[in-house]
């Protein structure tokens, strides 16, 4: 008999070692090494000859001989998912979706599977029974029409799953979740590093050889990173993060990695009784409709991926009671706020050193676009002076350390979005070259106010 091979794996990062060690050399975590069997038996590889029409013969080929053609994508009725994936589902792609428990991952992808009427969809669940999935499907409005080509399989063994796939020949496979799968070739518990790696490798081979797209739903650890080894994210083509607070109705689908499109895309959903509803115009939900004029609120024109958004920045400046003033932010970088406060102290003579400053991006968004600097600065000044900003004005500009307003990219899209939402004025940087070209090409019905310095903006607004 051949000797059974074992190895020790770090359960946090997937580092492999021949012997047990107390601290992982890769991630620095203590007592995370677990012994796992690496080789149990010789593998009976799955062969997909009967699945596809022609078997691809592998041979070396010169780059100029490769024929390029536009990849035909599978479009879903969900416009937000199509955008986040870069224009639809690519055949043969493998997509990993991760998020908090109870955020709606299974609901969203069950809904997408049900909405694809002309495609055979196989939904594999290792976490729920057939009855549980049927109850959820009845709740989703998509189920009201007859669904004959949507199939369920509650199974965790990859061997059984591939036998069923060979019989059914689906055009889309959804796996919920990859941490529950178990390969008979690896003798360790489901969810361990070697099991996740082996099961994902088998699914990846199936996806590439048969040109069938596969969606893998994954878990996350308590610190928010995707559970399993880091290699899991390298093996898949696209990584999507499903974010949001369970206490809010809105969810955000964000791209972390995409081999077929932009990684800066963002889709917004609303959780309703009938499943997930795609929010096609998020600017309207991110700006609160209010009748009173309140101080400390500024509207910023930002860009997430290819999509322009108008977001509300809320600031509160109060007299500090304790010796050390507080700086509290939500959805914005704390160091960036401290930098903007230093600019106001030095260039404007405003004494924020004795004030508590609180900043919030409305709607639960996390924004990294530097173009919201000007809106943050104006919201801070508005709260400092306790004077409301005019309601029909918005801002797009980055603030430099010397107090100048720097140019931002894709300015014409920001202006067009502000105009569409009924804003009358937008303050931008006067150093924007693209602005002159855009205004020369098309006539905007919104008043564009170019400014060069922070003190000019203060004099204009207050």
The binding site for ATP consists of: 99-106
Q: Which residue has the tokens 């206490």?
A: 247
Strands 297-304 and 275-278: unpaired
Distance CA 426, CA 330 (A): 25
**SS3 annotation, 362-390:** HHHCCCCCHHHHHHHHHHHHHHHHCCCCC
Q: Which residues are annotated as a binding site?
A: 99-106
Distance CA 98, CA 453 (A): 43
**397 burial level (CB within 10 Å; 0-12, 13-18, 19+):** buried
| Residues sharing a CB contact under 8 Å with residue 358, sequence separation 6 or more, in sequence order | 315, 316, 317, 318, 326, 328, 329
Strands 266-272 and 275-278: antiparallel
Distance CA 11, CA 34 (A): 7
CB 195 within 8 A of CB 182: yes
Nearest 5°: CA angle at 352, between 349 and 356?
165
DSSP character string of 275-318: EEEE-S-HHHHHS---SS--TTEEEEEEEETTEEEEEEEEEEEE
CA-based diameter of the chain, in Å? 86
Distance CA 198, CA 271 (A): 34
Tokens in use for 295?
A: 């101080």
Q: Which of 231, 225, 220, 212 has its CA nearest to residue 174?
A: 212
Distance CA 150, CA 62 (A): 42
CB 127 within 8 A of CB 150: no
3-class secondary structure, 59: coil
Say how many CA atoms lie within 13 Å of 87 toward its Cβ: 10
Length of the chain: 462
Q: Which of 267, 285, 274, 243 has its CA nearest to residue 103?
A: 243
Q: Which of 331, 330, 314 has its CA nearest to residue 366?
A: 331
């Amino acid at each position: 008999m051949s000797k059974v091979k074992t190895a020790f794996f770090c359960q946090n990062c997937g580092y492999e070692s021949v012997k047990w060690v107390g601290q992982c050399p890769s991630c620095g975590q203590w007592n995370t090494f677990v012994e796992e069997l690496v080789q149990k038996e010789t593998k009976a590889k799955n062969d997909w000859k009967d699945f596809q029409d022609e078997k691809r013969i592998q041979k070396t080929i010169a780059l100029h001989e490769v024929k390029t053609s536009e990849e035909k994508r599978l479009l879903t009725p969900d416009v937000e998912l199509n955008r986040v994936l870069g224009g639809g589902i690519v055949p043969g792609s493998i997509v990993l979706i991760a998020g908090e428990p109870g955020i709606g991952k299974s609901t969203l992808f069950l809904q997408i599977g049900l909405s694809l009427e002309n495609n055979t969809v196989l939904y594999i669940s290792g976490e729920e029974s057939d009855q549980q999935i049927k109850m959820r499907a009845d709740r989703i409005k998509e189920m009201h029409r007859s669904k004959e080509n949507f199939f369920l399989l509650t199974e965790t063994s990859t061997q059984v799953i591939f036998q069923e796939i060979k019989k059914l020949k689906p055009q889309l496979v959804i796996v919920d979740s990859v941490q529950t799968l178990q390969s008979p070739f690896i003798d360790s518990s489901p969810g361990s590093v070697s099991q996740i790696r082996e099961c994902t490798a088998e699914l990846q081979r199936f996806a590439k050889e048969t040109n069938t797209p596969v969606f893998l739903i994954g878990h996350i650890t308590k610190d928010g990173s995707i559970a399993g080894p880091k290699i899991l994210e390298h093996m898949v083509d696209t990584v999507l993060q499903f974010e949001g607070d369970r206490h809010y109705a809105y969810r955000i689908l964000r791209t972390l990695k995409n081999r077929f499109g932009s990684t800066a895309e963002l889709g917004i959903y609303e959780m309703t009784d009938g499943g997930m509803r795609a929010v096609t115009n998020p600017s309207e939900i991110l700006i609160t409709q209010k009748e009173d004029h309140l101080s400390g609120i500024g509207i910023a024109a930002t860009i997430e991926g290819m999509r322009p958004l108008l977001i509300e920045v809320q600031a509160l400046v109060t007299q500090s009671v304790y010796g050390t003033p507080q700086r509290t932010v939500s959805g914005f970088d704390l160091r960036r706020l401290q930098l903007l406060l230093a600019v106001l102290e030095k260039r404007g003579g405003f004494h924020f050193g004795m004030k508590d400053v609180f900043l919030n991006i409305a709607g639960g968004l996390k924004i990294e676009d530097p173009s919201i600097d000007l809106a943050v600065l104006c919201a801070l000044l508005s709260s400092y002076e306790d004077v409301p900003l005019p309601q029909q004005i918005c801002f797009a500009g980055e603030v430099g350390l010397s107090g100048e307003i720097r140019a931002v990219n894709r300015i014409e899209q920001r202006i067009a979005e502000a105009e569409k939402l009924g804003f009358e004025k937008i303050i931008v940087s006067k150093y924007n070259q693209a602005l002159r070209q855009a205004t020369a090409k098309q006539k905007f019905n919104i008043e564009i106010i170019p400014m060069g310095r922070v003190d000019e903006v203060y004099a204009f607004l207050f």
